[in-house]
Chains A and B, each alone.
Chain A
Amino acid sequence: MLILFLVIVTGAALPFSSFFIRVFTGDMSRGIPGHIEKTIYRFTETDPDHEDGWKGYARDLLAFNGIGFVILFILLLLQGFLPFNPENFGAFNLFTAINTATSFVTNTNWQVYSGETTASYLTQMAGFTVQNFLSSATGICIAIAVMRGITRQSTDRIGNFWVDITRCTLYILLPIAFIFALILASQGVIQNLDPYAQAIGYVPTGQQTIAMGPVASQEAIKELGTNGGGFFNANAAHPYENPTSLTNLIEVFLILLIPVTLPLVFGRMTGKMWQGWMIYTVMLVLFLGSFCTLYAAELTGNPLVKELGVSGISMEGKEVRLGLFGSSLFATSTTATSCGAVNSMHDSLTPLGGLVTLFMMLLGEVAFGGVGSGFYTMIGFVVLSVFIAGLMIGRTPEYLGKKIEVLEMRAAVIAVLVPGVLVLLLSGIALVLPNVEELMKNPGPHGLSELIYAFASMSQNNGSAFAGFDASKPFYTLIGSLAMVIGRFVPAVSMLALAGSLAQKKKVPPSSGTLPTASVTFSVWMILVILIIGALTFFPLFAMGPIAEHLTMIGGI
């Protein structure tokens, strides 16, 4: 089942990757969309033939996201005065607005609000959905710029941000999101602007309010762009977001599609498909490993419950209609990418299952990773792995003919390690603050996991939550916003710097003295580097969080 599913994803990614190449080389800029593209350039005074160095690219990218933040922020505060608000929701709380705007701009989609009780339809459509497109396009642009840096030589140009983001949105994200919105709607995902319905429910209290809204249009891009911000609070566990096992698979497919495609795009761009497959394989192995562990942990459940004669599998917090497999697949996919949509309560995963989701985020979300961010973080890991491996064969390390020197190391180290350090420091600070116990619903090892999960989710721009740790206090919304901004843009800008530096270098022709990076040995080495760096960074936290919880659980203490 899983294998078949991954084969389908990969099968789709292969032709999709050549489509990517055509989009970003401007090969698709024809016909009506080409006309729209040209109109946009005329309007924004963009010269599509001009390319920038990494600094210019980063400047445009930051400016664009800054503007996106301001617009969304204003929208959140003014939604009460604007149309498409049948439930008459007022303005967002100031701190919530800052946190939410940051969250959507950084592709985190951490939600300290409940969609159906806070956000108007206009906010959902013009605010969140638009940022879902733009933040994921931003990630893809960075990945493409990094690929250009590696493949080009003797130039300082890595592309034009405005052109890249226009093409990415126009030719890739919009059409696919449109098609899949229709498919999802056909399966029962709602799409309307109606006021909330009233129903005589099963509940003894009688009336029940059923939230409505333009869900399908947001759902498709939410998964495709690994955004993950749910229309409803229950996210993809909500029947209007994810009604059936089929939509569940479609949504996981969408989450994985672009992250799986990007390494193959890279393979095509370098002209060495095996290099793309190597990165793909490393991602796949990590993904499979985490899925199997999580699935096994959930299947095993709590042995003590089993002793009581009850089926041991852990169904707490999972939707019966999606099942254990569907929930495990979704949970792995959403944390292994930086999606953060959920179809089950991650908080209710078994300790080891929860550890897997936590670990996947803390590894930097590289197994297949967020759209763009997964790829460029992976390149950061490639640079680290190549560096140590290169030394071991007695050459200045090189990757695809590009020498890895001081600047590249600095960029890779920052991109790979900063988010992790952020999690450590924020968790460390939060735990010594006096009121921490009050914010935890489940003090003890589980509460600790919840707290670490919250900071991991924000720093790594995932957006999913264990819940349980109340991060809606002004202090934490601001700290969280800061974490999201640092976790997003520090690695992004340093990887652009790396691209800029690599683009200037000449390629060293390969020989038998060159370390082959598309080999089994190197893939194993890369997996080890990723796992060891992750494990070394978080071992003490895991020991006192999920591991202690697991041991407590099986020990029955």
Chain B
Amino acid sequence: MPRKRYPSLGAFESKLLREALISAVLKLDLRQQAGNPVMLLVEIGGILTTISFIISLFSATARTSFFTGFVSFWLWLTVLFSNFAESVSEGRGKARAASLRQSRTSVPARKLKTESFDASSIEISSSDLRKGDLVLVKANEVIPGDGEVVKGAALVNEAAITGESAPVVRESGGDRSAVTGGTTVIANEIIIRITTDPGQTFLDRMISMVEGAERRKTPNEIALEILLIALTGVFLAVVVSTYSVSAYSAASSGRGAPASLTVLIALFVCLAPTTIAALLPAIGIAGMDRLFRLNVVALSGRAIEAAGDVNVLLLDKTGTITLGNRQAAEFLPVDNQSLDDLTEAALLSSFADDTPEGKSIIALIQEKTGIAPVSPENVTFIPFSAATRVSGAQCKDTTYLKGASDAIAKAVLERGGVIPSDLKAKVDRVASAGGTPLVVARNETILGVIFLKDILKTGIKERFADLRRIGIKTVMITGDNHLTAATIAAEAGVDDYLAEAKPDDKLKMIRDYQNEGYMVAMTGDGTNDAPALAQSDVAVAMNNGTQPAREAANIIDLDSDPTKLLDIVEIGKQILMTRGALTTFSIANDIAKYFAIIPAALIGIYPQLEVLNIMGLATPQSAILSAVIFNALVIPMLIPLALAGVKFKTMPASKLFAYNLTIFGLGGIIAPFIGIKVIDLVLAGLLHI
């Protein structure tokens, strides 16, 4: 399936960047900062130092006021960088939302009185449609709202939502009845029952999620914020006590002066976890955006993070673990029947069979004989019927049948035939090898078994091994019997399987896992999946699924590709990892900043504290400025990491923890020592501060 749907929106595309800069300035509005208390305090610090700078212009020495002004300037930059990070991450979503919004413009709708193509209709605006209304949509018209096809079938272009230009069939009944507002009917006409009120349609929800307008903080984000706010509170207390302790020390030693307001604010801003606080909103929004680039829409931020916590994945066998189609792999004659007879019967019974299985039988014969089989004459086809569960062909007075072993056995017995003694053994052999046995009969004689093999998707086994390494259990759901299911489960390397699964079994299994404390994710598309989807913690619905399935889900995959679940899990983990890594980095940075600022602030009082100036920074002013500048610059430097997320490695938690701790913990301790020293060299060398 082609992946690329949307015009690529590089993070640093100039137009987006320009808009982000403007919005970064607009976000300086203190009311807008209220949601981010740490940055709010930094901005207040910026205001205070600015005032102090203005006062100092009239009262203090040029050197002092230059220092105050410079600190103030960098504090403002710190806030702007933080705003910019958020704007950039929002910017990409906004650009997408704008393109989605074009499809949402209100269109005329033909509201019907009754559910009939020739019922009288009135024309109203799509924005006046309400739940339960019936509308008629003809070819080349835009579907006015989310709904369900109740009558007819049509070809619909859903590119507005999925980006996929190939039209899809939407028809009443079955699993393909859901239509989305904003998509266009290309051929035929359909009657739709509207299922959502305007403002809550799929498109609306999608726009608001992509735009981040309705972004609520996730519980994990709130918990992290509590930590950040608490640390900020502690550092406020540190700064307050530093003032009074330095005032006391200066008085009692008779040297130096208490730490000035500018120094105290600089100390506070450097200690407060500004790095993570500045990037926190961007991390969440960027995660959402990464999902969207995979053509997956999460209907809440919580769903993505829950995906990171998932420890059981329920995966449908067909389409996720195996290719949708089984392929014929072998012919197994029974009871002294010849292979040629069996092959011929298989060929004749499959000519009319348009299913992928039927085609694969013919392909296998062609491969074995090397001759392209030609359709014989005088043959009438017996299509598959639900009653007999067999299909085949009638050639003069000979009937060729193929089907499941019990169905064929029944048909043969009806015709007075006998069941060969070794049939059961052969059928079981195929089943236990993970295949599906198809039995072939000519009149009342059973000739043999066709071995239909399930083909695993390439790379799926490695993927499951990765999942196991990171502690996620995979469960295969299949309608196959236990023997077949067990074999495929073993072959694919899943941890568990549910054979002969009915929708109720799925629901029960999810509940059982949840009662044991597991978080369960599943994908589904059919209406009968809806209860299980609603029950599971992370529910991914395929966009081509039914409306109930889509409503029960909290994540929609626009490509309808069930393997995406694995990507979703990864993105969920990335968001949390990025938060953890940047928090660690942010706090670890404080050590170096202390060694820069404290000796600088107190050296007037206790000259012996020069030994704490282990970086050998030039002057007290350059030391404090270097710390403030480093603190500010680290934000834009980490924006790319916040947007892309910390790379997820499939390794056990213990190793992953040690790995990230080394990079972001140890790195976070060392990096600022280097950074601050370099900035100090520049300041001292170029500006002589």
Contact = CB atoms under 8 A, between A and B. Distances in A.
A512 B653 contact: yes
Contacts of B253: 444
A395 B223 contact: no
Contact of A388 (B235, B238, B584, B591): B584
Q: Which range holds the interface residue count of chain B?
A: 35 or more
A544 B223 contact: no
Interface in A527-541: 528, 532, 535-541
Given A389-B657, A427-B245, A428-B241, A394 B591 contact: no
Interface stretch (B1-9, B436-444, B445-453, B469-477): B469-477
B336 interface: no
B226 A543 contact: no
Contact of B576 (A396, A445, A535, A555): A396
A393 interface: yes
Contacts of A545: 245
**Chain B residues touching A, majority SS:** helix
A392 B308 contact: no
Given A506-B517, A512-B469, A536 B609 contact: no
Contacts of B609: 543, 547-548, 551
B468 A413 contact: no
B591 A532 contact: yes
A448 B248 contact: yes
Contacts of A389: 580, 657, 661
A421 B573 contact: no
B230 A540 contact: no
**Chain A residues touching B, majority SS:** helix
Contacts of A548: 249, 602, 606, 608-609
Contacts of B665: 525, 528
A404 B241 contact: no
Interface stretch (A3-11, A103-111, A371-379, A514-522): A514-522
A477 to B, nearest CB: 21
B26 interface: no
A409 interface: yes
B252 A437 contact: yes
B686 interface: no
B148 interface: no
Contact of A536 (B248, B311, B574, B594): B594
B244 A393 contact: no
Nearest to B249: A544
Nearest to A554: B608
Contacts, number: 226
A299 interface: no
A391 B598 contact: no
A405 B231 CA distance: 17
Interface in B99-135: none
B223 to A, nearest CB: 4
A513 interface: yes
Q: Which range holds the interface residue count of chain A?
A: 35 or more
A448 B230 contact: no
A447 interface: yes
B608 A511 contact: no
A516 B653 contact: yes
Contacts of A535: 591
Contacts of B591: 532, 535-536
B657 A424 contact: no
A394 B573 contact: yes
Nearest to A528: B665
A393 B653 contact: yes
Contacts of A508: 311, 517-519
Given A391-B220, A391-B576, 6 more contacts: A387-B227, A424-B234, A424-B241, A540-B594, A543-B612, A551-B611
Interface of B: 219-220, 222-224, 226-227, 230-231, 233-235, 237-238, 240-249, 252-253, 267, 271, 305, 308-309, 311, 468-473, 515-519, 572-577, 579-581, 583-584, 587-588, 590-591, 594, 598-599, 602, 605-606, 608-609, 611-612, 648, 652-654, 656-658, 660-661, 664-665
Interface of A: 384, 387-396, 401, 404-406, 408-410, 413-414, 417, 420-421, 424-425, 427-429, 431-432, 436-437, 443-445, 447-448, 506-509, 511-516, 519, 521-522, 525, 528, 532, 535-541, 543-545, 547-548, 551-552, 555, 557
16 contacts: A389-B580, A393-B573, A394-B573, A395-B653, A396-B220, A410-B226, A413-B227, A413-B230, A424-B238, A428-B243, A431-B245, A511-B472, A521-B661, A522-B657, A548-B608, A551-B611
